[in-house]
Structure 1
Amino acid sequence: MTTAASPSVSPSAHPAPVAPSVHPAPVDAGLLGPLLDRLIRRHAVPGAQLAVTHRGVTSVVTAGEELFGGGQPVTPESRFPLGSLTKPFTATLLMTLVDEGEIEPDEPLGEQFPELAPVVGAFGSLLTLRHLLSHTGGLPGSHPAARPPADRARYVRDACAQGPLSPPGTAFSYSNIGPVAAGLVAELVLGMDWEEAVDSVLCRPLGLRPVFVTAPGAAAHHVSGHAAAPRLGTARPVAQLLPPVEAPSGGLALSAPDLLRFGTLFADAPVRPLAPLLPAPRITEGMRRVQPHTDAFGLADAWGLGPAHYLAAGGGTWVGHDGTGDGTSCHLRIEPREGTGVALTTNAGTGLALWDDLVAELGEAGFDVASHPFTRLRGEVPEAPDEVLERCLGTYRNGATEYRLVRDSEGVRLDQGGRPFARLAVRADLTFSVIELTTERTCYVGRFVESAGTGRIDRLQISGRLAVRSGRAA
């Protein structure tokens, strides 16, 4: 275990447009190391970093090793593949261009950039940067091809050709396509690759040392991901398989202290990083402000332009993001008014459940961190009766992804990609837990959505992704 502490500096003068928060009690830095060590053992996570800043003091603790059985301990400098926690970096890059007047966030992209008109196709007259950054563009969650094209413009064109899930600006559906499209816009404006833009515009001014996981030879410079087996207490290394074209959606590897440093951009109280990058109003009135129609059930409570919003049990709002790479799980939370922040990096997929347990145990110690649970549903709600389950059955689609719900002798089964994948534990309020068949663990949660006009169940939202019913009527 490694522990370090350092003071923050001067406060910002700009208040945040969020509800007053019930601020966490001071965290005992001496408890963080043992807590992290205990949790990685519980979830068979080979190694992790935890960075916490609160009331002027930043503490960093590490536990375990970079590679299971490899003997190389995790250090505060170890860099973990962030997965989707890359997305707020891409969003911040684009907002610097908005601040410089290079992009109008509410003007259709096909009209601002004529070269994008054939790329976004039918979306062109409506799709805006605001939609891309808030996941309200109606875009599918992923590219339709197992091996997507390497050219980013062709990638976005193919994805948009699948057609909208909903009209842009009317519903939230988490998508990897939006950040890739935003990365393409940044490349058009700046005349440089996304990787170079993120490094020069964000990382260098902030003093961050990123690894781009899709670069040749990158695996030698970042921590390995793992497929963990908690029952056996073992883990198998896995490679990062992200296609380079999708780097704006998941291509960064950083340490937890680096994540926390980036997160201070979204806070009022602590000193902003060495280079502010964006003026405070652009953060508070722009990126942090909750966007319309961003009910992100399964991921967060709402969404801004990049950062997600999480409601604290005692009141107030935190912002941040979560990310899963291949065999990694990373998390960032910032309470804007005081600048309290928490960043966790782990090198196993079970780090997602570790995060839920970390938040719960910190709360029991009086340090409440807002989060939207991935692996458990809130409240006590009875199971759905048979007549409700029957209304839920059928086929739902998100682009090329198909979710098929059937009844068998053991309940409701979810088939994905034409194969049995999980069981759904459906509750009377139409929320559900997704329990993997292979591991019997709850991997995420979701809900069914009724049509406002007919009461028919016509959509489901699973891990934040919207899928629209097709086939027989309910």
Structure 2
Amino acid sequence: MTETQNAETQNASELEESKMQEQLQELVDQWRVEANIPGVSVGIVHGDKDIVVTSGIESVETQLPVTDKTMFMIGSTTKVFAATAAMALVEDGLLDLDTPLVEYVPELTFADETATRTVTMRHLLTHTGGFTGDAGLSAGWGEDALGRSVSRLNELRQEFPVGEVFSYSNSGFVLAGHVVAKISGLTFEELVKQRVLDPLDMKNSAFLPWDVMTHRFALGHYIRDGVPFVSNETGLDRGMIPCGGMWSSVRDQLVWARYALSGEHPGEGQPLDESTRLLMQKPQRPAAMMFEEVGLGWLLTRYGTTQVVRHGGNVSNLQVSEFMTVPEKNFAVTVLTNALGGGIGKKIVDWCMANLTELPTPASLDVVEPEPAAVDAVLGKYQAGSLTMTVAPGDEGIGIRMGSAQDLGEYEDIVWPPAIPIAFLNDRDFAARADTTRALGRFVTDDTGRAVMLEFGGRTAKRVA
């Protein structure tokens, strides 16, 4: 091919990418308005190019536009940063994944004596500690907040034997953050900054409000009657930061995505050895639906038959994020929003997968019409800590709604989404009726066929009377 032909091919490719970006910009603007979400920031790693699309405003009160450096709360994607800090200490020889944590934190106690003696960092990073995963452990903003939160772990039920059941655990990562902070002699925030953020040159990422306020940042919003209002709460305090309290910009999340994909980054250091970075993304054990497997901090699913390494987060329905990488394609997409609504993150991810990865669109799974007795066997309420999943008939058939099992106290602005209508794939597994290309959850039944647990949103929830 001649130089002229090469140039023509490159120009054609750049023109096509420009058209794709314009199309995505139009769609993001449209979907954002339809969902009444004030602000959205999208970052895409596509081969050797980074694509950024922003839409809307940081706050309905300030009306400042979202930029590529606007910081959003990334929610539970924070857990992967906590896990990375833990693995850095493993490399230092200061932490062993399979040593009981009570050897590092002698004052640690759970309600279950066996758990006190046996829970390890591996259990925490793979969500298999067995103690209640969704619990209010708020403890203010002092430097002792994490320690105060961890001192209350003995109030939590031991839902499952240690190591036996995956159930997504925020409280497990609160403990993980406290353990790595204590071992390092630093605060959790200092440790992650020194061992992860600084080496990657992630300058638009922080944890504490007094650090965030020196940057452009988006405020969380709740939506009532189609109108967004600024929330008066962050949704998490310092006592729960390791499970979801990090703020970051889409530019910094693109740096994180490139590091996750290939180890590439603009900084001068390296958070982890290459073998450790890859180990974190390898399956450690099966997970609970909607996930398939869990690595060390990372959650693993598939797009059709292609491996996807992902996370994402939801801070009290006020700020919501998606983070997905496709290592096989050197592709990643992250979506940051300052309100919950319209499934906009999923729409953007699905559009990117369909239009940018060149992967075939997954085929719809076969749907069955269950017998009435099979439906009756799953109706009811299931509880995972402070969360309740209600399975009940609705206008569009059987649906599942997640809500709060108890008063969340200071977080009065939380608005829970409506029920998700489901379609059965068999007597146990189900998909969202609006998207039957992937399983959404699973009922775990006893010998009589009656559901006793529900895997949904990564939680393993027990049926309640």
Give TM class, smaller chain.
0.7 to 0.9
- TM-superposed deviation, 1:35: 1.4
1:398 to 364, 369, 384: 384
Counterpart contact for 2:111–2:156, Cα < 8 Å: no
1:159 to 147, 153, 158: 153
SS across alignment from 1:71:
coil
- TM-superposed deviation, 1:182: 0.5
Q: Structure 1 unaligned runs (5+)?
A: 1-24, 436-443
SS across alignment from 2:286:
coil
Confirm whether residue 304 of structure 1 aligns to residue 290 of structure 2: no
Whichever residue aligns with residue 81 of structure 1, its letter is M
Residue number in structure 1 paired with 2:8: none
Q: How many residues align?
A: 427
List per-residue Cα deviations over 1:183-202 (Å, max 9, x = no partner): 00011111121111112221
Counterpart contact for 1:84–1:322, Cα < 8 Å: yes
Residue number in structure 2 paired with 1:129: 121
Task: Call closer, same or farther: CA 1:306–1:111 in 2, change over 3 Å.
Answer: same
Confirm whether residue 342 of structure 1 aligns to residue 333 of structure 2: yes
Distance (Å, rounded) in 1 between the aligned partners of 2:91 and 2:138: 37
Task: Call closer, same or farther: CA 1:37–1:328 in 2, change over 3 Å.
Answer: farther
Distance (Å, rounded) in 1 between the aligned partners of 2:320 and 2:206: 16
Task: Call closer, same or farther: CA 1:406–1:310 in 2, change over 3 Å.
Answer: closer
Counterpart contact for 2:139–2:146, Cα < 8 Å: no
Higher alpha-carbon deviation: 401-410 or 50-59: 401-410
- TM-superposed deviation, 1:121: 4.9
Residue number in structure 2 paired with 1:447: 442
- TM-superposed deviation, 1:81: 0.9
List per-residue Cα deviations over 1:141-188 (Å, max 9, x = no partner): 222568789742342343344232222222211111111111000111
Across the aligned residues of Structure 1 and Structure 2, the Cα RMSD in angstroms comes to: 3.6
Counterpart contact for 1:143–1:159, Cα < 8 Å: no
Counterpart contact for 2:137–2:149, Cα < 8 Å: no
Distance (Å, rounded) in 2 between the aligned partners of 1:178 and 1:119: 14
Task: Call closer, same or farther: CA 1:433–1:268 in 2, change over 3 Å.
Answer: closer
Counterpart contact for 2:219–2:338, Cα < 8 Å: yes
Counterpart contact for 1:85–1:250, Cα < 8 Å: yes
Residue number in structure 2 paired with 1:356: 346
Confirm whether residue 388 of structure 1 aligns to residue 374 of structure 2: yes
Counterpart contact for 2:331–2:357, Cα < 8 Å: no
SS across alignment from 1:469:
strand
List per-residue Cα deviations over 1:33-63 (Å, max 9, x = no partner): 4413422432332222222222222222322
Higher alpha-carbon deviation: 362-371 or 244-253: 362-371
Residue number in structure 2 paired with 1:41: 30
1:325 to 291, 296, 315: 315
Counterpart contact for 1:359–1:369, Cα < 8 Å: no
**1:457-468 residue pairs with structure 2 within 5 A?**
457-468=451-462
2:237 to 222, 240, 243: 243
SS across alignment from 1:392:
coil
Confirm whether residue 290 of structure 1 aligns to residue 283 of structure 2: yes
1:31 to 20, 25, 28: 20
Counterpart contact for 1:121–1:160, Cα < 8 Å: no
Residue number in structure 1 paired with 2:83: 91
Distance (Å, rounded) in 2 between the aligned partners of 1:111 and 1:198: 22
Whichever residue aligns with residue 51 of structure 1, its letter is G
SS across alignment from 1:188:
helix
Task: Call closer, same or farther: CA 1:208–1:44 in 2, change over 3 Å.
Answer: same
Distance (Å, rounded) in 1 between the aligned partners of 2:114 and 2:372: 41
Higher alpha-carbon deviation: 335-344 or 103-112: 335-344
Task: Call closer, same or farther: CA 1:320–1:370 in 2, change over 3 Å.
Answer: farther
Higher alpha-carbon deviation: 423-432 or 108-117: 423-432
TM score, norm. by length of structure 1: 0.78
Higher alpha-carbon deviation: 339-348 or 363-372: 363-372
List per-residue Cα deviations over 1:294-349 (Å, max 9, x = no partner): 2x312x33211011112122x33121211122422212222234532222222221
Counterpart contact for 2:109–2:153, Cα < 8 Å: no
Distance (Å, rounded) in 1 between the aligned partners of 2:65 and 2:255: 22
- TM-superposed deviation, 1:128: 1.1
**1:138-157 residue pairs with structure 2 within 5 A?**
138-143=130-135, 151-157=145-151
Confirm whether residue 224 of structure 1 aligns to residue 224 of structure 2: no
Counterpart contact for 2:308–2:325, Cα < 8 Å: yes
Counterpart contact for 1:311–1:317, Cα < 8 Å: yes
Q: Percent identity?
A: 26
SS across alignment from 2:346:
helix
Higher alpha-carbon deviation: 27-36 or 57-66: 27-36
- TM-superposed deviation, 1:208: 1.1
Residue number in structure 2 paired with 1:417: 405
Counterpart contact for 1:122–1:163, Cα < 8 Å: no
- TM-superposed deviation, 1:384: 3.6
Task: Call closer, same or farther: CA 1:38–1:236 in 2, change over 3 Å.
Answer: farther
Distance (Å, rounded) in 1 between the aligned partners of 2:284 and 2:361: 18
Distance (Å, rounded) in 2 between the aligned partners of 1:371 and 1:422: 27
Whichever residue aligns with residue 247 of structure 1, its letter is I
Residue number in structure 2 paired with 1:171: 165
Counterpart contact for 1:179–1:248, Cα < 8 Å: yes
Distance (Å, rounded) in 1 between the aligned partners of 2:72 and 2:406: 33
Task: Call closer, same or farther: CA 1:97–1:160 in 2, change over 3 Å.
Answer: same
**1:7-22 residue pairs with structure 2 within 5 A?**
none
Counterpart contact for 2:386–2:405, Cα < 8 Å: no
Counterpart contact for 1:131–1:169, Cα < 8 Å: yes
Confirm whether residue 207 of structure 1 aligns to residue 201 of structure 2: yes
Counterpart contact for 1:426–1:433, Cα < 8 Å: yes
Whichever residue aligns with residue 332 of structure 2, its letter is G
Distance (Å, rounded) in 1 between the aligned partners of 2:417 and 2:348: 27
Counterpart contact for 1:171–1:293, Cα < 8 Å: no
1:80 to 72, 92, 109: 72
Counterpart contact for 1:225–1:237, Cα < 8 Å: yes
Counterpart contact for 1:107–1:128, Cα < 8 Å: yes
TM score, norm. by length of structure 2: 0.80
**1:65-76 residue pairs with structure 2 within 5 A?**
65-68=57-60, 70-76=62-68
